[in-house]
Chains A and B, each alone.
Chain A
């Protein structure tokens, strides 16, 4: 794995207009992340964690500062340009799973590659293998509503790795899961991350989970209060 910088954030600021005036949720956040590294963003509710994740993944435009993801300056791209970057380089795992309810588990996993125009038996076999890897090989044709929370999150994880992402963004991936299921999920995330050599950015309240990452970025009121590099986990 090279030590090239996959994510570079400089003086990132995000303001929202509200009825009572502008609200700053992120102020001048800066950090960078080398490929293959893992970063946990922690902080209390309202500290700007999810906003930072969204901006890093190109889900929104910053009010100030820059985000460079896999060599692309996100601020210079329009929404479709950022979508292309996401499709090529990014995987997501959400707290509330965000599976498309009308698609089966297999179809959900296939979406990222089908968006690129890739499909066919080979891709389907790859998706089936990924579902097998997360322990759902027998549930390919099930719809989200037919799966438990833990199973849905595993489908989401398989989908996140389907496009062979350079970087995986996880937003409270165990927030909606019970202890045992959460632990299994964490194993899967970090296991796949190692297997695929993916960079990991994780937003969590769970300090135990955060400590599994190589680095912890603490936010408070939209600003970085500490940036701690941990010993190899």
Chain B
């Protein structure tokens, strides 16, 4: 053992800097794993510490309609404290900003909101003013900036005027992301009646926040209320449930980020393996001498395994240290998507896990090229021609090691996602991606050998020849650069594709402004004002709110009760909340859930309120995929034919011809599914799950939704101002704002993914530098010979330039091509839209990637031409 360690140390003397450089390839991958792992532990700890603040109460009960007296009496009887809130969307008018309007989420709260955690505002006094019930509003900070308003300015909500008391900084249990589509506006609940918006029952959410006495368990109360108030269609949130949901989301995010980080580690490990491969080839003579002097195969192999382990350890420790530093950056990266404050601390188990994963992968990849050491013949000391016989594809250990690497990658992916499907999918994708890149590299090398024109200048031919000659870097560079390019560009293209879809949705004569909550008596004057503003109503649709009361003859309450029944009798916390769909009752059967098997229904789908319309024909954003659309029905028909959207049919396990009985605001209406529609939901239009024919529900209380097209943002703002001034109760959705919101969401997500992808890109650059330096050591002799034979420095630089230009452009083109394919697959299979790949974006990315390659190659390779020929020639003697 002492010989092995001594020899490993001595033998590494001349190569330590190189070995350290190789080890840098895995540093970033390990850093990513450590940072994410440790930060996740920080987050989980924060969730535990701030558990009650996640909800602001022990139990929150939510209803789409005003609470019944019996529910209120029950909650009052629980003891403790209660606080009520009402939430709905409405237009806010900024009177000091030229009456500009904006759709906001109004949150009317009582004095004691919230019970846990702190409602933070700027200035801090704003929360107190709100809780004191003064006529103030606390607004999203972005609104103040967007409309140039400040504390003390006035805004109008419905018919009431409020003074801006401050900006929202933090609300217990809510992340800033919640306000992406519509900013929040907090007002005192006691003043809500002054707005005139309290009759908007159909779109209001009522909540009771409950602070329970010490002895009460929120989940027990939840179970009791669920069984007691089945017909009330209440929904519940508890601290434990919120923690579980957050924990599960966190685990998913951690798994995803770790997999992205792992790609960097995998690439780095390939870089290490490739570098060690070159290193081992240079050590064959030494190994042969050792073998001649009596070293066993195991001894000489062990010398280099020790070096490999030391290399991995160095990279892993450096990576872990860098990971801890990066951990400090993650809260900044994830800013805006975190619902809680996170305190930094180092989780040593997480550091150990990242370090361990990195070491295992690095070690396995290091062993792969080192296996050749075992087969070095001592005869090489006599004749260097025997070097070619050292490697062997039939070495069973290579196969075993290959299997171990695949198992390690799959195991890691499973460990992160707890899903064999994803684990195997991840490994398969990784292998396929690397396989495609490596295969293309082989093709490039073959083509370089096959198709070089003799008429080309010498430096060009020499540069091209470098692509296929022994010890070329074609495969490695195409892998590292191509993969980095693929990841980054796919992200950009997907973003462009998604945003383009929304852009398309608003082009031409399609609507770009949608108004809703227009009352029955307001629709005609609304159309008149809209026409005066040169933004005529393109289409309008009546909306009638309704609930399902029976499906195929089975009352919905019965279905709901059946769904709750197993949980009410279950014991233990694991059975106390809804974990999956298995307890949902299936429609059309009176047998118990256990006896039935098969998919079961969602309680949400059964109990929710539907906003349906009636019309004589289908709209431009939908098409009939089954049955026949009935546009009219004679008055008084016993069973009304309806058309439903395809996901509605699927989720409620319905078929054409099935009956649904609706409760249309107290009036029962029997219907039969006679057609199914596919709807383009992404279009800003009035789309519906359920469409009735004309002649059935016109008499029911209804509101209207109207779609308009404004010629410009200025016209849009002017129209909104005029319409909201005339009808304070209506709300508007502006396509431009949706685009902005989508862009903002995508930017946040993209920033996180790009941050992680950067690990891969930087790893690619390190691998590139390592590969170039390796080539430098390999090619110094050749360069020196060329110089000795009279090549000028300029010619030598030109040869390098040709080689790196070809590699850079090819890597960028291959990576770009893969990203175009990746984007197309994502668009087709995931988003179900047409992919967009702007040629200028792709060309720009290709140019940048190629430039980085050439620059890195030339900078790292500089000095090769300065190497004194005598030194090399002396080594030859």
Q: Which residues of A contact B (CB under 8 A)?
A: 50, 53-54, 57, 59-60, 79-80, 83-88, 90, 92, 94, 98-103, 107, 111-112, 114-117, 119, 145, 149, 159, 163, 171, 176
Contact segment of B295-303, B444-452, B696-704: B295-303
* B295 partner residues in chain A, CB cutoff 8 A: 83, 87, 115
Q: What separation, in Å, do the CA atoms of A171 and B379 have in the docked complex?
A: 12
Complex CA gap A59/B293 in Å reads 10
Identify 7 residue pairs between A and B in the complex whose beta-carbon atoms are under 8 Å apart, listed by A's number.
A50-B383, A59-B381, A83-B295, A98-B292, A107-B10, A114-B2, A145-B874
B877-A149 in contact (CB<8A): yes
Shortest B102–chain A CB gap in Å is: 72
Identify which of A102, A116, A149, A159 contacts B286 (C-beta below 8 A): A102
A83 adjacent to B296 (CB under 8 Å) = yes
Which of under 10, 10 to 19, 20 to 34, or 35 or more describes the interface residues of B?
20 to 34
Which residues of chain B are within 8 angstroms of A50 by Cβ–Cβ distance? 382-383
Does B664 lie at the interface of the complex (its beta carbon under 8 Å from any beta carbon of A)?
no
* Shortest distance from the beta carbon of A185 to any chain B beta carbon, whole Å: 15
Q: Is the CB of A60 within 8 A of B379?
A: yes
A115–B294 CB distance below 8 A: yes
Instruction: Give the A-binding residues of B (Cβ under 8 A).
Output: 2-3, 6-7, 10-15, 285-286, 288-299, 377-379, 381-383, 874-875, 877
Are A115 and B3 in touch, CB under 8 angstroms? Answer: yes
Instruction: Name the distance in Å between A117's Cβ and chain B's nearest Cβ.
Output: 7
List of A residues within 8 angstroms of B877 by Cβ = 149, 176
- With contacts A86-B292, A145-B874 taken as known, whether A117 is within 8 angstroms of B377 at the C-beta atoms is no
For A92, the chain B residues whose CB sits under 8 A away are 292-293, 381
Q: Are A59 and B379 in contact (CB under 8 A)?
A: yes
| Bound: A111/B292 CA distance, A | 11
A67 to B706, CA, bound (A): 100
Q: A83-B294, A87-B293, A92-B292 are in contact. Are A171 and B3 (CB under 8 A)?
A: no
Task: Check B292–A79 contact: CB distance below 8 A.
Answer: no
Q: Which residue of A lies closest to B6 (CB)?
A: A114
CA distance A102 to B307 in the complex (A): 14
Residues in A with CB closer than 8 Å to B3 are 114-115, 117, 119
CB pair B13 A98 closer than 8 Å: no
Assess whether B10 is in contact with A102, with CB atoms less than 8 Å apart. yes
Give the residue of B7, B286, B382, B875 whose beta carbon is less than 8 angstroms from that of A145.
B875
Complex: how many Å from CA A203 to CA B11?
Answer: 30
B639 to chain A, nearest CB (A): 86
| Cβ 8 A contact of B11, one of A60, A102, A114, A145 | A102
Cross-chain contact A115 with B382 (CB below 8 angstroms): no
- Inside 8 A of B289's CB, which chain A residues have their CB? 98-100
Return chain A residues, CB-CB under 8 Å to B293. 86-87, 92, 111-112, 115, 159, 163
Collect the chain A residues with CB atoms within 8 Å of residue B294's CB: 83-88, 90, 112, 115-116, 163
Q: How far is the CB of B380 from chain A (nearest CB, A)?
A: 9
Chain B residue nearest in CB terms to A111: B293
**A59→B569 CA distance, assembly (Å):** 79
Q: In the complex, which residue of chain A has the Cβ closest to the Cβ of B374? A: A79
Q: How many whole Å from A2's CB to the nearest CB in chain B? A: 24
CB distance from B127 to the nearest CB of A (A): 70
Contacting residue for B14 out of A102, A115, A116, CB 8 A: A102
Report the bound CA distance from A99 to B11 in whole Å.
12
**Nearest CB on B from A11, distance (A):** 21
Q: How close is A51's CB to chain B, nearest CB, in angstroms? A: 9
Contacts of B6 in A (CB 8 A): 114
Q: Which 4 A-B pairs have the closest CB atoms?
A: A87-B294, A80-B296, A59-B378, A86-B294
Q: How far apart are the CA atoms of A98 and B286 in the complex, in Å?
A: 8
Say whether B11 contacts A59, CB under 8 Å: no
Residues of B contacting A103 with CB < 8 Å? 10-11
Most buried by A among B13, B288, B296: B296
